[in-house]
Structure 1
């Protein structure tokens, strides 16, 4: 019995030991590995300075002279970033305009485009074997189509009738010479066609340019500046057309190309004030000529008269106004004469500039406008080039119309 009890006790102890081992092994598997304990660091207290006999002997170091001691090097200054260099815009290159002498002859090919209606048409009709009434009516119609005008046409037909009757034989050379002579006579050879560039007093000559917007007035003013510079004159430009935003810029560009100063004011400013300042500047610079570009509005004759009249009065405070040039578009034909009449009533026109006379223009307008206003055509425009404005020469003009 005792043996049995002892066996049971031993069995229970064995079971308990085995279960303890199993539990302990499971616990060991679940726990993460732990780092081995580190050795604690013991910080020693700072050593106390030793004095007297306990002090450590001072190590002797070799002494250096003052010459051997080098100064510390100065730190290099930090370079500041350089500001970008803004280059000034290059000054516009000054152009040398083409000489005006013989310019019309050089532009003859462009002018000759108008000859089919006037020159060659008349020569063809006059060369017919029999000049009956129907032929003379065709001649008259040809002149009217070419914008010669009613009164000048009647005058020319009457003179041609008489001359042809007296001439008898009509060779091509005779007819060409006859027609040329009559056309030159109709254009007039006794007009003073020179643009006045000298004033009678100690002030610059003042030229006012007038005309309807769209006729090339501002461009013509710029080209006229080139004509004057080509003839050796110094010029100051006055941008008194303040009602068109681009007019002053356009005129200034023309002036810069030939080295002429442009006086301008704010958009919508007083034109008379700008004209006055331009003349004042011309006097200060000792310029030969002051060119004033005016506004070309034609809303009412009264408004135009007031505006141009004021400009004229203000400018004349400095001295006389030497020229008033009217710019007309040759392609408008007889309609341009209506504009010419209005301006002639407002100011005293002294000369006419006919633009766009090449191509579609009809050469007879030169005769008509002179007869209408009683003032000479002084300049004609024959293209869009900068030097396509030429002094008007009746003989060269007729030669180009009739052809060889």
Structure 2
């Protein structure tokens, strides 16, 4: 039975050898437990920890326990309790550094995240503000022409008034009818109101450059484009067959004929026609007859209309005669005397006399001119009428056609 005995002994030895470390381990665990009791703050810190923090710290416990246990036993042997008390705060500090920051870091991370969001919002607001500011700067840097282009017609008219221009949309349309060239009309207005260099865009917000913008906007919005030829024929036929009736009816007819004549003029201008006969072929009407009819009606109607209407008619009819050069040569004296008569009848004697003086100087045959000049004053100032008739006798005698008419004024 030696074999069995040996096995048992061997088993006992094994048991003893295996048991001793377990006992020692228990003793060490007891010692460790005592150390842990002595370091209560470490336990309290663990209570404050959140479970995720404990889980993260679990791998570090083995290293910490081994290092912490041996010094704790040596301290007990070498030092009295006060030393342990001193060590406790050290562990507190260590534990706080190891554990609390884990919780605090999360809080700080949340705060940091919130701060970043708030900063991002502020940054966005700042960026938005900067963008807005940039837009304003861009507007200021726009050229004068770009700023003028953005103005409405009403704003342009208001600025024109600020520049002391006495213009309206209708008055500009009337000028464009006479001359449908925007640049030319603009230049005339600048010269008329002496605007060159008078205003500074940087200081006043406008200058003479605004005038062309205004005229251009009026031209774009007004009905001043030429009509088709066939649309005019019926209107011209009506005008040629019109019979004078009364002041009201004649006035309405004048407006209608004025509009028709404007369209005839614009066709000639756009097609560069300067001869009435060529224009006849283009639109199928007798242009010269229509011009005569229109002048007769205007002379009759404008005697009772306003002075401004006479002024406008003068510019318009000269535009027609300047375009149709053959008619200008035929009717220039007649139209000048018509206009001079109308100015005198409206009380502008200076302008009327000046026009007659010019006509008399430019013509060798003066009897009809003197007769017209003297007769228009008969209803205004008889003494002046006789004075003009007497002056005519220096150039007119019984050989001239209108000599008897002049003598009739002298004896009247």
Q: Same fold (TM over 0.5)?
A: no
When Rg is computed on C-alpha atoms for both structures, the one with the higher figure is 2
Higher share in helix: 2
- TM-score, with length taken from structure 1: 0.21
- TM-score, with length taken from structure 2: 0.21
Higher share in strand: 1
